[in-house]
Amino acid sequence: MPVTRSKTQLKRNYAAAVAGANDDTNQLLSASRHAFIDWAVENAVPIERLTPNDYSEHSDNTIHNAAFFQSLSGAIQSSSASVVMLSEGFHNCREMMTLHHVVIEYLVD
């Protein structure tokens, strides 16, 4: 029988592991967290708005979220990826579902 744990239980387990960790482990976790934050700040690409067909040219000849799609395309091409995985921070969230819709439409076209 699979073991299921709630998010609260997992957070408690993580907190306990960190609390029980030695100074070297805590420094490594802190350094990793800061490295990720630095990377995210440097590489973040704002999404102007989310509506279907945002990647295609509109009547005013603009492509909404062009920087986002250029960044996505560059990341895929530089990694030689043939599969792109999408994750979601929230289930059944309108914005997340719209983002998936827009990205999948872009990848298919």
pLDDT at position 85 is 85
Same domain, yes or no: 60 and 106? yes
pLDDT at position 40 is 83
The answer to whether residue 31 sits within a structural domain is: yes
What pTM was estimated for this model as a whole? 0.53
Range of the domain at 35: 7-43
Same domain, yes or no: 72 and 34? no
pLDDT at position 96 is 82
pLDDT at position 34 is 81
Same domain, yes or no: 68 and 18? no
- Report CA dihedral (34, 35, 41, 47) to the nearest 10 degrees: -110
Same domain, yes or no: 28 and 70? no
- Single out the residue of 30, 31, 18, 71 nearest to residue 48, CA to CA: 71
Domain count, the chain: 2
pLDDT in tens, the chain (109 residues): 344 556 676 667 667 666 666 677 667 777 788 888 888 888 888 777 777 665 555 545 456 677 888 888 888 888 887 888 888 777 778 778 888 888 888 888 7
pLDDT at position 56 is 56
Same domain, yes or no: 107 and 56? yes
- Report CA dihedral (100, 37, 44, 102) to the nearest 10 degrees: 0
pLDDT at position 2 is 44
The answer to whether residue 2 sits within a structural domain is: no
The answer to whether residue 17 sits within a structural domain is: yes
pLDDT at position 1 is 39
Same domain, yes or no: 28 and 15? yes
Residue with tokens 């920087």: 67
- Single out the residue of 61, 77, 81 nearest to residue 69, CA to CA: 77
| Helix 23-43 and helix 7-20, axial crossing angle in degrees, nearest 10 | 120
The dihedral region occupied by 23, where left means phi > 0, alpha psi between -120 and 50, and beta the remainder, is alpha
